[in-house]
Structure 1
Amino acid sequence: MRPLSDLVWGSPPADATWTWKSICKTKLMMKNAYTDGQWQPNVKPWYFNTVWNNWNVPKHAFITWLIMHNGMNTREKLHRFGCGSTDAGCICENAKETLPHLFFEYDYSKVVKSLIHDRCGACISMSGAMAGGYGNVGGKLKQQVFANILNACIYHIWAHRNSARVNGILLIPSLVAQKIREVVRQRIKFKCNAKMSRSDDVWLEKLGIRL
């Protein structure tokens, strides 16, 4: 008989069902976060501060969280599971629609991000933003705003990808960037208070935000 500890935390047998293997995988992930009946402090995934920043619009954060768990049904993923006749992208039909390609390699996405960058200087990159967060961008305000921008970009690119797939309608990148900037502007005005440094105030004015 296998020891109780193996049954609780060990790997499932090779002939276990997919469901049981998934449960065991989740238990192993939770082992370091939940010990002796208590949640352990400071056990956070590497993307936590960028995704679950309370300045983010909740639905934007949720979409980014799904992406971090590969939970979005791209054409490449659906085609791999036998759904759909092609794995080519809805926006760019010349390559497989994977998550990295959709958000950071498509020419359409690159133009949207470039327009955002030109306005506020936020470098929208998965490798930089997600791996290291925005810890070196000059103050807490900018960290929060840049995380907000990243999540808004991801959400709106995904939303307009869906519009192209379902309705055959795709806004030009400048209009998408305009929508993103307006959402970010409204969110910042909602979250900011009147107490901030002069440099932050000047920076927000460059974004077109006056408090």
Structure 2
Amino acid sequence: MVSWEKVCSPKEEGGLGIKDSLSWNIAAIRKLVWWIYYSPDRLWVKWVYQIYLKGADWQEYHPSGDVSWGWKSICRVKNRLVSGYQNGQWVLDSKGYTVGSGYELVRQKFQAVQWNQWVWNGWCLPRHQFIGWLIARENLQLKVKLCQLGIAADDDCLLCSNASETHVHLFQECTYGRRVFSEINNRCNMSIPMSNHMQWVGNGQVSRLQKAVLLCIVMAAYYHIWMQRNKARVEGCILRPELTINQIRREVQARITARLLPEKDKRDLDWLRSVKLYL
């Protein structure tokens, strides 16, 4: 499983880019605190000074027990995000405090990853992207992990039974996966290595369109290898690699047809036709 903090981190940091509702709520409430400090002419702020503060210093104010829950929430957030201020000024945004800059300060940060632009390539299908994201994070529920949890009796690879089912084995060393990528190399006239597929394509000396299409193919291959692994576990049988390759080709071809513009470079179109991905 991926922790909620990592799921809510930006894609550049290996997350899904989902907003953490708790951190966003704190940042949004802090906007009300900002108004009390710096917008005394607002009608709501005047009401706060009249009803709650009653001449007290806002910096030193502590709510009594008989005030509303909402006002207590505002007071609890008052001293949060103080690290974003210098000499009373909000330094993370020249326009003053914003909810977005406050959220960036309060959320948990993670180290940037290199693979995000490869996984979230716009040519890939969303379901392929999601499985690719789990693979990049090494968070698939493989048999090594299931065996450690006592769910699986052994950790043998379900596709070849030649080694422990790890991320490296399943997508780089397994005979089934190697046959799939070998056929991809043959059909695309490429030499994608069995290790670091996405990195090789992402850094490859090919045109922008070819890079996007190859990433789409690699992500589709990851997805279908994972689906065959699940099919082996549930049904006890798998498709031949040739049939898996045909499934990958059909999905990639449909995606290319949906996204490709007619004014693309002729050399790219000729390459797509040569690998039978464009009609």
- TM bucket (normalised to shorter chain) is 0.7 to 0.9
The Cα of 1:127 is off from its aligned counterpart by 4.2
Q: Which residue of 1 aligns with 2:239?
A: 171
Q: Secondary structure at the match of 1:177?
A: helix
Relative to structure 1, the CA distance from residue 93 to residue 175 in structure 2 (aligned partners, 3 Å threshold; closer, same or farther) is same
Q: Equivalent pairs: percent with the same residue?
A: 33
Counterpart among 177, 180, 186 of residue 118 in structure 1: 186
The Cα of 1:44 is off from its aligned counterpart by 5.0
Q: Which residue of 1 aligns with 2:251?
A: 183
Relative to structure 1, the CA distance from residue 125 to residue 152 in structure 2 (aligned partners, 3 Å threshold; closer, same or farther) is farther
User: Partners of 1:158 and 1:128 in 2: how far apart?
Assistant: 17
Contact kept? 2:132, 2:219, Cα under 8 Å: yes
Partner AA of 1:98 in structure 2: T
Q: Which residue of 2 aligns with 1:84?
A: 152
Q: Secondary structure at the match of 2:233?
A: helix
User: Partners of 1:168 and 1:204 in 2: how far apart?
Assistant: 36
Per-residue CA deviation, residues 35-81 of structure 1 (Å, 9 max, x unaligned), is: 842659xx952101210001001100100101112211111111122
1:54 matches 2:122: yes
Structure number with bigger Rg: 2
Q: Which residue of 1 aligns with 2:170?
A: 102
The answer for unaligned runs of 5 or more in structure 2 is 14-83, 85-91, 93-100, 106-110
User: Partners of 2:275 and 2:201 in 1: how far apart?
Assistant: 21
RMSD of Structure 2 on Structure 1 (CA): 2.6
Per-residue CA deviation, residues 125-144 of structure 1 (Å, 9 max, x unaligned), is: 47444345523332110110
Contact kept? 1:47, 1:133, Cα under 8 Å: no
Tell me the TM-score normalized by structure 1. Answer: 0.77
Q: Which residue of 1 aligns with 2:214?
A: 146
User: Partners of 1:194 and 1:68 in 2: how far apart?
Assistant: 33
Partner AA of 2:152 in structure 1: G
Q: Secondary structure at the match of 1:88?
A: coil
Partner AA of 2:251 in structure 1: V
Per-residue CA deviation, residues 71-120 of structure 1 (Å, 9 max, x unaligned), is: 11111111122221111111122210001101110111101111111001
Partner AA of 2:266 in structure 1: R
User: Partners of 2:151 and 2:194 in 1: how far apart?
Assistant: 28
Q: Which residue of 2 aligns with 1:134?
A: 202
Bigger shift: residues 43-52 or 73-82: 43-52
The Cα of 1:149 is off from its aligned counterpart by 0.7
- Number of residues paired by the alignment? 183
Larger relative CO (CA 8 A, sep 6+): 1 or 2? Answer: 1
